[in-house]
Amino acid sequence: MESLLIENGEIVTALDQFHADIFIENGSIQAIGADLSISADRKIDAQGHYIFPGAIDAHVHLELPVMGTVSADDFETGTAAGMAGGTTTIIDFVTPDRNQSLLEALRERKKVAEKAVSDYALHMAVTWFGPQTAKEMERCVRVEGIPSFKTFLAYKETIGIGDQELIAVMKTAKALEAMVTSHCENGDLIPELQKQLIDAGKTAPKYHAQSRPSFIEGEGTHKAITFAKATGVPLYIVHVTCQEAVESLIKARTSGQTVYGETCPQYLLLDDRVYEKPDFQSAAYVMSPPIRSKGHQATLWGALKAGQIQTVATDHCPFQLHGQKDKGKDDFRKIPNGAAGIENRLALMYTYGVLEEKLTLKQFVEVNSTRPAQLFGMYPKKGAICVGADADLVIWNPDTENTISAKTCHHRCDTSIFEGFRTKGAPTWVIANGKVQWDEGNLKVEKGAGRYIPRAPGSSI
Ligand code: URP
Ligand code: ZN
Ligand code: ZN
């Protein structure tokens, strides 16, 4: 395998910032030091660039079957788009059908994922709890390298679970020293509000948001935290969007409970005026939870800066506006939920986080790479720049300016919810497992080159 010497760059990790060269061979970091002068097959002059550990997106849905369709990016196109933006590892989900064996669903999902161009791991969603589920969860943790279990409080009609099932998942995960992750919206209240709106003839996309108000996420968050407290399991709340949820999170954390939060760029940067866009364009923003009113953004940024929210992921789950989202032209309940973001996360968080002084550069590394690696059992192979770590690196030019557009993004989707956003800072080179995958604007990925990453139980810190 080609060896690589990166010279003159400024390394930034969650803890340190210093100038050093990095020597890479056989897919991992072999040496870090000043003026390494080691001969290598290729040299990169990283003068004027930062070097970050490869970003980890701990929440994506590639090729997700939903509402009779499938999310538009498959494992190849989705991970390729990630690579172009500096994401070198993703965590997707196994989502078994009700009554399906978790392990059978895992085998199927791994087959689907084989074409990934970047490394990938999987969370296991527990969508029902049968007589075999505890044993299957044990195998997930002990044999399959899956120490995190996703629960949906929403989507009761398909994959969401009830209280008894939630308790069973949490008790089992606790015994296995695993993490439970939760989508926190009350799954009984939403259909009730949806029905009221539809009965009143309110069918347009903007009513999706009205059917899922922030207080419903607040209730769901408080409930998941309460159940986690009672069972003692570490809990990770996915896609936190609002003040009510942050308040619950902070209260629990300051009481000493082990609970973590994740947010996404769309909740930090967009507000609910997107639902006023004309001609069904607003359907592009139909996701769950929905985009909130502007007031919530400052709370999310503040919680991120204070370390009360630990990670930023994308919940990347694109659907074409024309041909998929338009199935819900006359009924917002039929619009497939989700949007693209995997390629844009780092540039957005750098531009609107670091450059606007809402995050330090080290915090930027922490929330996008190091904390996801630690919480989900991949550290320090991932999320770190140290000898022995996987050679997953982002060599970042802080001066590169771009304007986001669906036309130039690598994701497979006819729209971008960040269309027109100006960014400053972008990767010049992205290296994964020692290979240059994004090379000064050229994507050099290889279908199937990504490896499945079995994970250890996370460090829960
Ligand atoms: O709308 C969304 N977020 N779709 C993906 C599934 C989920 O709830 O995360
Ligand atoms: Zn969700
Ligand atoms: Zn999701």
Name the residue with the closest Cα to ligand 1, atom 1: 287
CA 210 to the chain's CA centroid:
25
* Residue 1: per-residue pLDDT: 80
Name the residue with the closest Cα to ligand 1, atom 7: 288
360 CA from centroid of ligand 2 (Å): 28
198 CA from centroid of ligand 3 (Å): 25
Report the nearest atom of ligand 1 relative to the CA of 155. 8
Break the chain into its structural domains and give their ranges: 54-375
The total of other beta-carbon atoms located within 10 Å of residue 160's CB is: 20
Name the residue with the closest Cα to ligand 1, atom 5: 338
Which residues of the chain carry a pLDDT beneath 50? none
* Residue 286: per-residue pLDDT: 98
Name the residue with the closest Cα to ligand 1, atom 2: 338
Q: Among residues 62, 56, 69, which one has the least CA distance to residue 340?
A: 62
* Residue 460: per-residue pLDDT: 57
The ligand that comes nearest to the alpha carbon of residue 64 is 1
Instruction: Report the run of H or E that residue 403 belongs to, with start and end.
Output: strand 393-403
Residues with CB under 6 A from ligand 1: 61, 183, 287-288, 315, 317, 337-338
Report the nearest atom of ligand 1 relative to the CA of 154. 8
For ligand 1, pick from 315, 334, 413 the residue to mutate: most ligand atoms within 8 Å of CB.
315
Pick 54-375's CATH classification: 3.40.50.300, 3.20.20.140, 3.20.20.70, 3.90.180.10. 3.20.20.140
Name the residue with the closest Cα to ligand 1, atom 3: 288
* Beta partners for residue 90, in sequence order: 57, 120
Residue pair 278/285 in contact by the 8 Å Cβ criterion: no
Task: Return d(Cα 249, Cα 227) in angstroms, integer.
Answer: 13
410 CA from centroid of ligand 2 (Å): 23
Residue 203 three-state SS: coil
